[in-house]
Amino acid sequence: MAEKTVKEITSMDEDFTQWYTDICLKAELVDYSSVKGCMIIRPYGYAIWENIQKNMDAMFKATGHENVYMPMFIPESLLQKEKDHVEGFAPEVALVTKGGQEPLAEPLVVRPTSETLFCEHFSHIVQSWRDLPKLYNQWCSVVRWEKTTRPFLRSREFLWQEGHTVHATAEEAKEETIRMLNIYTDFCKNYLAMPVIQGQKTESDKFAGAEATYAIEALMHDGVALQAGTSHYFGDGFPKAFNIQYTDKNNKLQYCYETSWGVTTRLIGAFIMVHGDNNGLVIPPRIAPTQVVVIPVAMHKAGVLDKAGEIRDRLAAAGLRVKMDDSEQSPGWKFAEYEMKGVPVRLEIGPRDIENNVCVIARRDTGEKMTVSLDEITSFLPQLLDTIHDDMYKRAEERRDAMTYVAHNKEELKEITDSKQGFIKTMWCGDPECEDAVREEFGVRSRCIPFDQENLGDKCVCCGKPAKYMLYWGKQY
């Protein structure tokens, strides 16, 4: 880990929670608002979200999805149509009861999610098998009245995308559910350099109203798990509640099958806690607002600023997101500032470098410095950014694997939960009572039943009865 140089950031070993909050504020990602539990996403934080949104949106469109926009208000009666769904969201719902000075005839829910609005719309526009599938997504904000909030990880209003699709058959809908989970997995790996575990949520932990919920689970630097994205198979439950029917090729009336899937701005919190260090952010290069910062050294000397500007323009023309800092701050201040802001590469250029036709390159992730010919930078830096991405992923994966433990019985589970933080793999009988017992006794929750099953034994870690699944456990954000 890099030596700590930023005094305003609490050491992660001293207080990980405070370290995280310090980084979000010091790096100018967010600010607090006058509305308790809501955050102001500042330009640097929003630029990261824009890069996440742009790249993920392209992945959605490449698989045939279209963007739409639904109202932010939901009539309360509409939310009531699916019993499990409304009960699942009731504690988090915010209501509007007045419009101007007049009481509303019916309270309006500020959307916590948009299943009911999409269902109502699908019931209007789906008539025939020719209308299917409908593959929709929207980028928006939602409101959930959370009691405990933290920037990006949990706030009362947050940004996200929510996909909603309807299909002619259960098989098509199930394929869509897994397809979108795979897209999230690929995005985390190829853009956030963040390894995740794919799996199915247990019955007690699935989304309200879903037949099955699938998730990607990531492990943060402190060994606490974070659910990074979910994809839900609804079956025909919502379509039956909202009368979403179509006439099939045999002219028979059939119910549709539905899915829903989403990720949020908590992805920003996730990569901060996976990659960050005591000096601040370490941003994966492919979503970094600035990939390379050019810092002229001794810029008062003739030719330095001109050469720095020329380098900036060359790198921008090569497709890199590049910034030159020609402010009056000292080079040392600039080095610390961009290190704290997590810019993947720093390029230093001074009079002696210009004489030798070289520059100094510094990697944010490792601190390594190297001297590179100015003739080679446009080919060297894109390759270096890819190397940084791959190295960040590998380090995160190795750390996760080193913090993943196996427990065969309660005694081993207690020993791990008392002394370690991380994922815990156990066998499980599938009984929700055992799941509840482990949560209450050991303070960990089930994360998912991973697709990659391992046979760790034939007995449930809790009750000792025959095991059905290997299950991941962990403390959670």
pLDDT (mean) for 94-121: 94
pLDDT given for residue 82 in this prediction: 67
pLDDT (mean) for 121-126: 98
pLDDT given for residue 421 in this prediction: 95
Residues 19 and 269 sit within 8 Å (Cβ to Cβ): no
Task: Kindly report which listed range (9-13, 19-23, 206-210, 342-346) carries the lowest average pLDDT score.
Answer: 206-210
Q: Is the pLDDT of residue 56 over 50?
A: yes
Q: Is the pLDDT of residue 303 over 80?
A: yes
Q: Is the pLDDT of residue 131 over 90?
A: yes
User: Strand 30-32 relative to strand 39-41: parallel, antiparallel, unpaired?
Assistant: antiparallel
pLDDT given for residue 79 in this prediction: 84
- Position 202 confidence tier, pLDDT thresholds 50, 70, 90: very high
Task: Kindly report which listed range (78-87, 201-210, 385-394) carries the lowest average pLDDT score.
Answer: 78-87
pLDDT > 90: percent of the chain: 92
Reported residue count of the chain is 477
What tens digit of pLDDT does each residue of 224-274 get? Answer: 999 999 999 999 999 999 999 999 999 999 999 999 999 999 999 999 999
Q: Is the pLDDT of residue 4 over 60?
A: no
pLDDT given for residue 208 in this prediction: 85
pLDDT (mean) for 3-17: 79
Task: Record the tokens describing residue 200, joined without a space.
Answer: 């199915």
What tens digit of pLDDT does each residue of 16-48 get? Answer: 999 999 999 999 999 999 999 999 999 999 999
pLDDT given for residue 86 in this prediction: 64
pLDDT > 70: percent of the chain: 97
Q: Is the pLDDT of residue 54 over 90?
A: yes
Q: Helix crossing, 266-275 with 377-402: angle to 10°? A: 90
**Omega prior to 112 cis, within 30 of 0:** no
- The domains found in the chain, sorted by start residue, are 16-275 (3.30.930.10), 290-386 (3.40.50.800), 404-474 (3.30.110.30)
Comparing CA positions, the residue from 82, 79, 63 lying closest to residue 71 is: 79
Segment holding 411, helix H or strand E? helix 410-419
- Position 7 confidence tier, pLDDT thresholds 50, 70, 90: low
pLDDT given for residue 401 in this prediction: 98
400 vs 457: CA distance, rounded Å: 22
What tens digit of pLDDT does each residue of 371-422 get? Answer: 999 999 999 999 999 999 999 999 999 999 999 999 999 999 999 999 999 9
Range list of H helices, 169-328: 170-190, 237-242, 266-275, 304-317
Task: Kindly report which listed range (3-7, 93-97, 130-134) carries the lowest average pLDDT score.
Answer: 3-7
pLDDT given for residue 338 in this prediction: 97
What tens digit of pLDDT does each residue of 325-351 get? Answer: 999 999 999 999 999 999 999 999 999
Average pLDDT value over all residues in the chain: 95
